[in-house]
Structure 1
Amino acid sequence: MYSLRFRIARWVLAHQKISWLFFALVTAFFIAGLPKVQLRTIFSDLLPSDDPFVQTFKDHPNFGNPLTVAVMIKRKDGDIYNPETIAKVWKFTRDIDLTPGVDHDLILSVTTGKARYTEATPYGIDMRPLMGDIAPSTPEEVALFKERVYKSPNTKVFLISGDDTATLITATFIEHSVEYGEVFDFVQKLAADARDEHHEVYVTGQPILIGWVYQYTTQMLLIFAVTVGALLLALILYMRNAVGILTPIITSAVAAIWAFGLVGWLDVSIEPLLMVVPLLLTARSFSHSVQFTERYYEVYAHVKDRAKAAEITMGVMMAPSILGIITDIIGIAVVAAAPIPAMWRHALFCGMWAVWLIPTGVFLISLLLAALPTPDNVEKLIGHGEVSGVHRRFQALLTGIARLTYGSRARYTAAVVILFSAAATWTSLQIKIGNPVEGTNLLWEDSDFNGAVRAINRHFPGVNTLELVFESKTPEAEEWNVTRAETVMSMLKLQNIMEKGEDPPRATLSFNDYLRESNRLFQGGSPKWLELDNRDRAINAAAIGVMMGSSAKNYGHVIDDTMQHGTVSLWYKDNKQETVDAALAAARKAVAEVGQEHEFFRIRLATGIIALQEAVNRVVDRFHWVMIGLLNVSIFLLCSYAYRSFVAGLILLVPVNLSNQVMIASMHLMGVGLDVNSLIVAAIGVGVGIDYGIYLLSRICEEYHAQGEDWGQAITAALRTTGKAIMFTATIMTVGVLPWYFMSGLKFLADMGLLLVVIMSINMVMALLVLPLLVWYVKPKFVGRKDLLVGEGVDLSLLTDQQSPA
């Protein structure tokens, strides 16, 4: 295997024209795919395909559809019962009906035909819209409208606030037709036009949230450019030669082009929120390049020939580089184990990006090293002669760190590491799965979106529903299942149980509520007749009263248009995970009491925002440890094989798992919940975190022989060489990533940027401190072997005749 590496390296450098042509053609192919790249969110692909809640949502998309925009228009100096405010609501309702992708049957406000009042007349029950064909414009018409509102109890709960100062407009969108950027721009313009000195307008809903993410796409690209600029500046200050500056930039850029070009050709969309992961992959590419280039400097100092030094460096670094990249790939690939299509697509995108680091980070970089001008400061870079500036500081710091990892001081270092690790592990166990805030943790607390959520929650039952679906077992039958007495009485019982429970919802609604009001009016208007008679005949009579002169589409939020299926809607104050847990626990208990299976219908748990959030969180809870377990097993087996020792696998896994605990603890302290987005970053962080350990352990193996089998000297030499490259790459990536925290309008990206800083920093510390400490205490036998797959050693004194090792 050792000679094979050098034979491959010799062939590549001996056939540079063919190699360059290969890279040029492949890069051109992927460049052609770049115009087809799509940064786009597909909402249903964010949901786990195998979850029963998601199946309920797909079977009954009308009930609690999260792709609903909620708009609250609030009067600042009085109530809404004035011609100006009503006209504004009227216009907004009709304008939002023009939004691309809107479901015209699922728009609701006090100005639509779905908002109805009921009254008894000498000719029977009269159920009519609150407004006619035009908005009330005179004091008398407004007074009549207000009178009608008070004859519509549900309107006073769900469409007009208790203090009469605000009203709600909702519009649901069709997923396969909606373009979130267009919806965002269209609705936000309507809101801006509606705002004035007397009115405030608040806009929320999943389409608007996704729209906000789209709005920050340009900002993301700007911050990415700032990051690249910071990395470039750090490289210039550190390397001070063309080789060290250009190789990381070119190899990283080519890998990125190949990754984006591939998804362009495959017509696979990329989730915008997860664009922080490519930043992590760019960091890995820089890290591999710097490690490779630093080793090239050492070889060049002996052979004094660019091409020969590049050939030798490729042969020496090929195995540890590929092993490190494979661990990156594994860290990404396990993400695809979760049954969420968006995660699979992102695993494909980022996984192939990591795969492309092999040809670019091993072969292309070698061609670049052979072609670029000879560096004139090699002696300083490798620590020979007079060392000054940042290199001297790095060398001094690393020498000090090395002294902490062996000899008598090692016991104190070990004690500190154990205490720190115990504290980090305990803190990491406190992290919460799911959303930790009211609104969304993707945006800052003071964002317009979160402000709108809080405002609507103050005036209405809220925007977070849990839907318990009453599904007909015989949908092909002619009878109206939702008007059968057993169905209606079960709805009523379920609502009563939920309203009287320990964690009651803010409000409940079902078709039963409309039937009760109709029944009251049929019986003369007394409130005592709100109670329905438990007979099909009586229920049908109430239903006829409700439906007279109307259409089932006017009640599409509680029944389907065939009247075969219905829902009990439950509103909750927020979507924090503790609220979600309590709501679902109460719902399961209530459904068990009512009975889930009946002769003509079944009750399905559940759909709505609460249920769908829980569906995603269950995947996080279920697959978090599965992913970490798969990563550990895969990396353990791979590294054990490469080093010919199970002990090596364990030594490498200890620091990377400690890093993972610190990372999760940091997320908890930052107030970041473990959700589907942060899970991806966490899983990939484990895979990429082991790279530093592989490079350093391989160098310790080499230095152990070079330093006369002296453990302390081997550790010190490894830290002063490979450790310097590790410290530099971690430092420059920290500098480069920090702008994400201070510049991002998306809190999630800011948090993930800060988390990447933690990942880089803690992986560096664990590699430079904990791994040498473990080597010192274990003194593994595999270090003394000379047949390791990842052995970096090569006797440079044998290369003075310019012959490659056999």
Structure 2
Amino acid sequence: MGTVRHAIAVWTFRNQVLAITVILLITAISAAGLPHVQIKTIFSDMLPTGHPYAETFRDHPNFGNPLTLSVMIKRTNGDIYNTDTLQKVWDMTRDIDLAPAVDHDQVLSITTSKARYAEATPYGINMRPLMDSTVPQTESDLDEFRARVERSPNARGFLVSEDGTATLVQATFIEHRLDFGETFAYVQDLVESARDENHEVHLAGEPALIGWVYEYQEQMLWIFGVTLLALFAALFLYMRNIAGVVTPAITGVISAIWGFGFAGWMGLAVDPLLLLVPLLLVARAFSHTVQYIERFYEILDVVGDKHKAGELSLRVMLGPGVLGIVTDALAILLIVLAPIPAMQRFAIFAGYWALILLPTSVLLAPLILTRLPTPRNLHVIVARDDSAGGVHQWMARMLSHVATLTTGTRARYTAIVLVLCGAVSIYFGAAIKVGNPVEGSALLWEDSEYNVAVRNINDNFPGVNTLELVLESKETGTLEKTARKADAVHTMLALQDIMERSDSPPRATLSFADYLAEGARLYNGGDPRWMPLDPNDRATQAAASAAMMGSGPKAFSHVIDMKQQNATVSLWYRDNRQETVDKALADARAAVEQVGKEHPNFTVRLGSGTIALQQAVNDTVKDHYWVIVVVLSLLMFVLSAIAFKSVLAGIILVSQVNMANFVIIAMLYAMDMGLDINSLLVAAMGIGVGIDYGIYLLARVCDEYENQGGDFEAIIREAVTTTGRAIAFTATIMLIGIMPWYFLSGLKFLADMGLLLGAVMVINMIMALFVLPVMVWFLKPRFVQRDDLLISEHLNLAELRPVQSEGGV
């Protein structure tokens, strides 16, 4: 492999113009794809494929559709039964019906024809809209409207609050036509216009949540700009020369053009929430490039020739650079194992970006360095002169002290501390929650407008979180109206009864059967004793006909489909905290088991709605996170063992990176952050960061074996104070760059990810600088002595130093 590295380095520097031309050509082609980059959320792609809950939703999207907005209009000084408030509801309903991508059949409020009440007339049963074609104006009209609401089986509680001070306007949207940003801006403008001194207006629902994320896109880009400025400022203060700042900038920009250009050409949509990952990948380009810069300057300080230093640094760094970047890419690409289309698509995009750091950071960096001026502060950067001072010398001294803690008698005490930290991290990491730990959304701050809206709607209505138990007809393709048959209707009632009597009952339940009781009463002369439904098809069909008199299936589309074959039992819960979700689903499974899943004409399927869909994602994350970690660890072990030609090397590196991973998971637990679809990707990338640090440091240990005469204490000290300095610097500048996120971001998710990424960098740095050296000290592996490793060059700088003569060099 040394011959291969040598050949690649020689060819690259003999054909510099060709290499740079090829890179620039690929950059130009990639740049042409940038206008085609799509930054958007595709909701259905955020749901896992194959999970029974997600498949139930896909089969019956009209039941408990999460793409539903809820607007609550609340009177602050009285009830809603006044012309002013009802006019606001009327206007809001009709304005929302004009919103982009709205499903006109799924707009519901007390002012729509779908909200009805029943009355018996001399000519039969009449189902009439609660509100006529105009808003009530007189006191008598308002009293009549109030009476109608009282006679409506399900308007009170679901559309009008129990105290009569608030009402809901709901609208569902068609996904393939939905632009979350456009729709949210339109509806939010309606909400803000409707607010006044007498009315609170609140907006909630998945489209509003995603809309708020879109709303913060501009702020996110501004914060990312601040991050990049902070990174460049840290680079400048650290390097204090042109080459040290320009080289990482060029490699970072080119990698970004290649990455986003690939997404544009491939038509891969990038979710706004995951835009922080490209920023992290730019930082990874910085990290790999800084490793090259540090080694290039170190060799240049000895050989004095930029061309020779560039070729030698490429030879030395090619092995660890390739292995580090490949493991980085694997950490991301393996997320395709989680069957969530949005994550799989993003893993391909980000994995490709991670992989292209091979040409941009490994091959291009030394070519750039040889063409830029030699820094005047070269001797200061390599920190070989104790009198030089500055941050480089300070870091070298600090890391020298770190090295003393990992060798000699102190190493055993350091090892004890590390073992205890590892045990504590495993204990708390095992208790990590999967799912949402807060009421509302963890994406936004607790006092955000969205989370305040969710709490207010939950305080006045059953809530915005439903669990759907779907009765799916086995008679599809026929004219049979399964949802109107006695078995189906009584199964609905039984499910509602069981759930309402459970230890953790829902706040409300609703099914098609709830509308039939009033129909049965009116059908039988208005006697309340006829409200209980007879257990036979004839009586049930009659009650259904009475309930639907004067309307049609469209008015009941939230509980039955248009063909009246499939139906749902909707269960409302106050919040979507994981504890609530777990109890709701456990009770629902027990209820389905009690009534029976399979019936002659239908199957009871669990489930749909926000509760079930959230759990579908959580199950996928929980089932696949550790699979990804195990598979990634095995691949890292195999690749490391091959590169270092030692099983022990694989064990050392995988042990270090997995200890860091457990500490990171424990940090998530301490921060009360659930492991979810968003933090999964960041945590996986953290593993890639950790293995990078370990690879570079262990490769330097191998390189220093001959230079230090086999003295492991000297080997570790030299590796930690040189390569360790690049590790400490890249971790530090990332920490400096991302800390502003916490203080500047309106998205709690971005702030939390800033803290998490900061923890990832610091923890992986500490693990690399302590765990790996301690293991090397105690194990004293023999593979470091070999001169045929795929990863190490065993470069002896003393032999490369120009010979001094009396007349000069």
Q: TM-score when scaled to structure 1?
A: 0.98
Counterparts of 1:321 and 1:631 in 2: how far apart (Å)?
Answer: 18
* Worse-superposed segment, 296-305 or 443-452: 296-305
Counterpart amino acid of residue 787 in structure 2: K
Counterpart amino acid of residue 733 in structure 1: M
Number of the residue aligned with 1:168? 168
Q: CA deviation at 1:591?
A: 0.9
Counterparts of 1:591 and 1:530 in 2: how far apart (Å)?
Answer: 25
Number of the residue aligned with 1:202? 202
* Pairing of 1:118-133 with structure 2 (within 5 A): 118-133=118-133
Q: CA deviation at 1:688?
A: 2.1
1:617-666: CA deviation from partner (whole Å, max 9, x where unpaired): 11011101101101110000000110010100111111211111111111
SS at match of 2:503: coil
1:39 aligns with 2:50: no
1:752 aligns with 2:753: yes
* 1:68/1:170 contact within 8 Å kept: yes
Number of the residue aligned with 2:807? none
Number of the residue aligned with 2:185? 185
* 1:659/1:763 contact within 8 Å kept: yes
Number of the residue aligned with 1:634? 635
* 2:331/2:684 contact within 8 Å kept: yes
1:461 aligns with 2:450: no
Counterpart amino acid of residue 114 in structure 1: K
Provide the identity percentage.
55
* 1:331/1:688 contact within 8 Å kept: no
Counterparts of 1:423 and 1:708 in 2: how far apart (Å)?
Answer: 38
Number of the residue aligned with 1:226? 226
1:143-191: CA deviation from partner (whole Å, max 9, x where unpaired): 1100100001310010000111000111000000110001110000000
* 2:36/2:265 contact within 8 Å kept: yes
1:266 aligns with 2:266: yes
Counterparts of 1:107 and 1:594 in 2: how far apart (Å)?
Answer: 33
Number of the residue aligned with 1:28? 28
Counterparts of 2:616 and 2:698 in 1: how far apart (Å)?
Answer: 42
Q: CA deviation at 1:535?
A: 1.5
Counterparts of 1:493 and 1:545 in 2: how far apart (Å)?
Answer: 22
Number of the residue aligned with 1:301? 301
1:199-224: CA deviation from partner (whole Å, max 9, x where unpaired): 01000111111111111111111111
Number of the residue aligned with 1:562? 563
* 1:73/1:167 contact within 8 Å kept: yes
* 2:268/2:346 contact within 8 Å kept: no
Counterpart amino acid of residue 29 in structure 2: F
* Pairing of 1:498-517 with structure 2 (within 5 A): 498-517=499-518
* 2:2/2:793 contact within 8 Å kept: no
* 1:461/1:506 contact within 8 Å kept: yes
SS at match of 2:562: coil
1:330-367: CA deviation from partner (whole Å, max 9, x where unpaired): 10011111111111111111101111100011111111
SS at match of 1:461: coil
Q: CA deviation at 1:801?
A: 7.9
Counterparts of 1:801 and 1:376 in 2: how far apart (Å)?
Answer: 19
Counterpart amino acid of residue 228 in structure 2: V
Counterpart amino acid of residue 634 in structure 2: V
SS at match of 2:171: strand
Number of the residue aligned with 1:145? 145
* 1:659/1:766 contact within 8 Å kept: yes
* Pairing of 1:536-615 with structure 2 (within 5 A): 536-615=537-616
Counterpart amino acid of residue 312 in structure 2: I
* Pairing of 1:289-438 with structure 2 (within 5 A): 289-385=289-385, 386-438=387-439
Counterparts of 1:20 and 1:409 in 2: how far apart (Å)?
Answer: 49
Q: CA deviation at 1:750?
A: 0.8
* Worse-superposed segment, 52-61 or 187-196: 52-61
Counterparts of 2:434 and 2:775 in 1: how far apart (Å)?
Answer: 33
1:99-145: CA deviation from partner (whole Å, max 9, x where unpaired): 01000000000000111011222222221000111111222211110
1:415-436: CA deviation from partner (whole Å, max 9, x where unpaired): 1111111112111112111111
Q: TM-score when scaled to structure 2?
A: 0.98
Q: CA deviation at 1:476?
A: 2.0
Counterpart amino acid of residue 264 in structure 1: G
Counterparts of 1:363 and 1:392 in 2: how far apart (Å)?
Answer: 29
Counterpart amino acid of residue 563 in structure 1: Q
* Number of aligned residues: 802
Counterparts of 1:425 and 1:282 in 2: how far apart (Å)?
Answer: 31
Q: CA deviation at 1:521?
A: 2.1
Cα pair distance change 1:801/1:706, threshold 3 Å: closer
Number of the residue aligned with 1:72? 72
Q: CA deviation at 1:391?
A: 1.2
Counterparts of 1:361 and 1:706 in 2: how far apart (Å)?
Answer: 27
Counterparts of 1:679 and 1:725 in 2: how far apart (Å)?
Answer: 27
Q: CA deviation at 1:522?
A: 2.4
SS at match of 1:74: strand
Number of the residue aligned with 1:771? 772
SS at match of 2:103: strand
Q: CA deviation at 1:704?
A: 2.0
Counterpart amino acid of residue 681 in structure 1: V
Counterpart amino acid of residue 687 in structure 1: G
SS at match of 1:400: helix
SS at match of 1:218: helix
* 2:327/2:691 contact within 8 Å kept: yes
* 1:655/1:771 contact within 8 Å kept: yes
1:254-299: CA deviation from partner (whole Å, max 9, x where unpaired): 0011000011011110011111222222221111111100000111
Counterpart amino acid of residue 474 in structure 2: K
* Worse-superposed segment, 497-506 or 102-111: 497-506
Counterparts of 1:570 and 1:119 in 2: how far apart (Å)?
Answer: 28
Counterparts of 1:22 and 1:613 in 2: how far apart (Å)?
Answer: 46
Counterparts of 2:56 and 2:733 in 1: how far apart (Å)?
Answer: 48
Counterparts of 2:161 and 2:687 in 1: how far apart (Å)?
Answer: 49
Counterparts of 2:546 and 2:633 in 1: how far apart (Å)?
Answer: 65
Number of the residue aligned with 1:655? 656
Counterparts of 1:675 and 1:126 in 2: how far apart (Å)?
Answer: 50
Number of the residue aligned with 1:678? 679
SS at match of 1:269: coil
Counterparts of 2:683 and 2:528 in 1: how far apart (Å)?
Answer: 57
Counterpart amino acid of residue 476 in structure 1: G
SS at match of 2:454: helix
* Worse-superposed segment, 248-257 or 518-527: 518-527
Q: CA deviation at 1:242?
A: 0.9
1:714-756: CA deviation from partner (whole Å, max 9, x where unpaired): 1111111111111111111110111111111111111011100
Counterparts of 1:410 and 1:20 in 2: how far apart (Å)?
Answer: 47
* 1:252/1:286 contact within 8 Å kept: yes
Number of the residue aligned with 2:257? 257
Number of the residue aligned with 1:479? 480
* 1:631/1:687 contact within 8 Å kept: no
Q: CA deviation at 1:528?
A: 3.0
* 2:553/2:562 contact within 8 Å kept: yes
SS at match of 2:131: coil
Number of the residue aligned with 1:85? 85
Counterpart amino acid of residue 494 in structure 1: L
* 1:70/1:170 contact within 8 Å kept: yes
Counterpart amino acid of residue 532 in structure 2: E
* 1:184/1:208 contact within 8 Å kept: yes
1:407-450: CA deviation from partner (whole Å, max 9, x where unpaired): 11111111111111111211111211111111110111111111
Counterparts of 1:528 and 1:71 in 2: how far apart (Å)?
Answer: 37
Counterparts of 1:36 and 1:14 in 2: how far apart (Å)?
Answer: 37
The runs of 5 or more residues in structure 1 that have no matched partner are: none
Consecutive aligned runs of 4 or more in structure 1 exceeding 4 Å deviation: 797-802
* 2:637/2:654 contact within 8 Å kept: yes
Counterparts of 1:637 and 1:20 in 2: how far apart (Å)?
Answer: 33
* 1:468/1:568 contact within 8 Å kept: yes
Counterparts of 1:162 and 1:667 in 2: how far apart (Å)?
Answer: 40
Counterpart amino acid of residue 507 in structure 2: R
Q: CA deviation at 1:12?
A: 1.4
* 2:689/2:764 contact within 8 Å kept: no
* Pairing of 1:779-794 with structure 2 (within 5 A): 779-794=780-795
